[in-house]
């Protein structure tokens, strides 16, 4: 057999994107493939059949993740995994997650068409329930990485039913989900192509983002206590207005985030008693900060706490997810591939969570971003230009080839 260099079939990739977008298409031009819904399961079957056509052996693990395996040449080498997810938010876009799965498929299709096998096996993974519609996100990758909490089965899904009920309807044995966990080192690497879901690359005219890591997220509950009183009869200099107390803190969230080079948001605000003719007696708000460096997050948190306590507010951390750094070899492989292909590239963090975040518990991981026009995502107007989709797939293939050459049998470069 005559071997040739593997190349991404651009026309097939774009055709696949169109075909997958028709599954769960909405009248508004978006896509609804809520995890475990009929549309989600149909899309999963569609991807699995495409995997088989591309020469892969296909299986589903106990959590419902679809895994296609393309054999390698050297016995005993752990697979290099590529993937993402095909479930969506309600009335979401056609590229979030789907591009990563279909580009991974395109990479294996390129190898198969060229009559090539790499040293390592290649896995294409379509993770189940990445979106936060099942009481939380990254359900499938958390299960695979050994991070699954059985209590999640009792959480309320987006439609109000327990998560366990959705799994049972999809023929998933809830008692076996934990057995989807794979041991650390069972994969040589994991690489995920994804749309940016922000406007940095598009605004800068940059083709590829080499993701340095996925930001840590900290959320806080802050409560301001004033005194409720009549809005018409209480003089302005005799008021204890909880909302007036909270206002400087809300502005401080932005100020402190800018000063520390991170992002900060006040996302909810509850004013009590909540009547137009009553001075607010209590204000409860939630704030969050996101950044890639733990020390920076510590400093920003300390500054926020000081501002809140100076105003007499109660300040409590609700949750904290640590940042996840990308593997340096993968980042370098992405940059090297971009240089070889003549594509502009910049290092950047991911401000959103992804399956790659969980896979860091199993193996070295990294991500590749392509531009999202106007930074829109999770909406029907989500759009990544065809040439950007194809360039992302080309960089994913080049990164796969570079890692296959660089990684040895232990997964070390």
> Quick one: 65 and 148 in the same domain?
yes
> Quick one: 111 and 236 in the same domain?
no
Distance CA 144, CA 357 (A): 12
- Does the structure show a pLDDT above 50 at 410? no
Average pLDDT for 235-252? 97
Tell me whether residue 103 is in a domain.
Answer: yes
Tell me whether residue 411 is in a domain.
Answer: no
Which of 321, 354, 388 represents a domain boundary (last residue)?
Answer: 321
* Alpha carbon 249 to chain centroid, angstroms: 30
Which pairing describes strands 122-127 and 80-85: parallel, antiparallel, or unpaired? parallel
Average pLDDT for 21-36? 96
> Quick one: 330 and 298 in the same domain?
no
> Quick one: 30 and 170 in the same domain?
yes
> Quick one: 352 and 397 in the same domain?
yes
- Does the structure show a pLDDT above 90 at 409? no
Q: Which of 258-267, 349-358, 368-377 has the lowest mean pLDDT?
A: 349-358
Task: Please provide the DSSP assignment of 179-201 as one string.
Answer: GG---TTSSSEEEEEEE-SSSHH
* Torsion sign over Cα 13, 16, 20, 26: positive
Tell me whether residue 5 is in a domain.
Answer: no
> Quick one: 90 and 209 in the same domain?
yes
Residue 1: pLDDT band with limits 50, 70, 90: very low
Tell me whether residue 245 is in a domain.
Answer: yes
> Quick one: 70 and 162 in the same domain?
yes
> Quick one: 266 and 178 in the same domain?
no
Write the pLDDT tens digit of every residue in 117-139. Answer: 999 999 999 999 999 899 888 99
- 385 Cβ contact list (under 8 Å, min separation 6): 371, 373
Average pLDDT for 142-153? 94
Which of 287, 321, 355 represents a domain boundary (last residue)?
Answer: 321
Average pLDDT for 36-65? 97
* Torsion sign over Cα 193, 197, 201, 206: positive
Tell me whether residue 46 is in a domain.
Answer: yes
Write the pLDDT tens digit of every residue in 160-195. Answer: 999 999 999 999 999 999 999 999 999 999 999 999
- Does the structure show a pLDDT above 70 at 232? yes
Average pLDDT for 227-256? 97
> Quick one: 199 and 58 in the same domain?
yes
Tell me whether residue 3 is in a domain.
Answer: no
Segments forming the whole domain that contains residue 167: 10-214+323-406
Q: Is the peptide bond before 273 cis (omega within 30 degrees of 0)?
A: yes
Average pLDDT for 142-150? 94
- pLDDT score for 353: 86
- Does the structure show a pLDDT above 60 at 413? no
> Quick one: 198 and 64 in the same domain?
yes
Number of domains in the chain: 2
Tell me whether residue 1 is in a domain.
Answer: no
Q: Are 273 and 230 in contact (CB under 8 A)?
A: no
> Quick one: 170 and 226 in the same domain?
no
Residue 53 is part of a domain; what is its CATH number? 3.40.630.10
- pLDDT score for 412: 55
> Quick one: 69 and 195 in the same domain?
yes
- pLDDT score for 389: 98
- pLDDT score for 222: 98
Which of 321, 348, 365 represents a domain boundary (last residue)?
Answer: 321
Residue 303 is part of a domain; what is its CATH number? 3.30.70.360
């Amino acid at each position: 057999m005559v071997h040739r260099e593997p190349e991404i079939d651009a026309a097939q990739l774009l055709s696949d994107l169109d075909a997958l977008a028709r599954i769960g298409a909405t009248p508004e031009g978006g896509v609804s493939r809520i995890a475990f819904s009929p549309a989600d399961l149909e899309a999963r079957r569609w991807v699995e059949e495409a995997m088989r056509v591309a020469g892969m052996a296909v299986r589903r693990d106990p959590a419902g993740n679809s895994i296609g395996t393309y054999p390698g040449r050297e016995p005993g080498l752990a697979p290099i995994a590529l993937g993402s997810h095909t479930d969506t938010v309600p009335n979401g876009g056609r590229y979030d997650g789907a591009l990563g799965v279909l580009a991974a498929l395109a990479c294996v299709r390129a190898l198969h068409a060229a009559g090539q096998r790499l040293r390592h096996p290649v896995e294409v993974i379509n993770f189940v329930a990445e979106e936060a519609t099942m009481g939380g996100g990254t359900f499938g990758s958390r299960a695979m990485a050994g991070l699954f909490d059985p209590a999640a089965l009792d959480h309320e899904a987006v439609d109000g039913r327990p998560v366990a009920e959705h799994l049972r309807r999809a023929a998933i044995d809830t008692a076996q989900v934990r057995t989807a966990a794979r041991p650390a080192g069972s994969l040589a690497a994991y690489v995920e192509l994804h749309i940016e879901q922000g406007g940095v690359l598009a605004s800068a005219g940059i083709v590829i983002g080499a993701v340095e890591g996925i930001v840590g997220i900290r959320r806080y509950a802050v409560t301001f206590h004033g005194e409720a009183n009549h809005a018409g009869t209480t003089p302005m200099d005799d008021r204890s207005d909880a909302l007036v107390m909270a206002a400087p803190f809300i502005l401080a969230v932005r100020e402190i985030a800018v000063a520390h080079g991170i992002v900060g948001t006040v996302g909810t605000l509850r004013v009590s008693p909540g009547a137009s003719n009553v001075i607010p007696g209590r204000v409860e708000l939630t704030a969050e900060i996101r950044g890639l460096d733990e020390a920076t997050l510590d400093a920003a948190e300390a500054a926020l706490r000081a501002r809140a306590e100076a105003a007499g507010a109660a300040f409590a951390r609700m949750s904290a997810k640590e940042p996840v750094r990308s593997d340096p070899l993968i980042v370098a492989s992405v940059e090297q591939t971009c240089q070889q292909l003549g594509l502009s590239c910049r290092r950047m963090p991911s401000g959103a969570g992804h399956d790659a975040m969980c896979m860091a518990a199993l193996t070295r991981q990294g991500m590749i971003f392509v531009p999202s026009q106007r930074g829109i995502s999770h909406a029907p107007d989500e759009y990544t230009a065809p040439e950007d989709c194809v360039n992302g797939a080309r960089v994913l293939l080049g990164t796969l080839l570079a890692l296959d050459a660089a990684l040895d049998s232990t997964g070390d470069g």
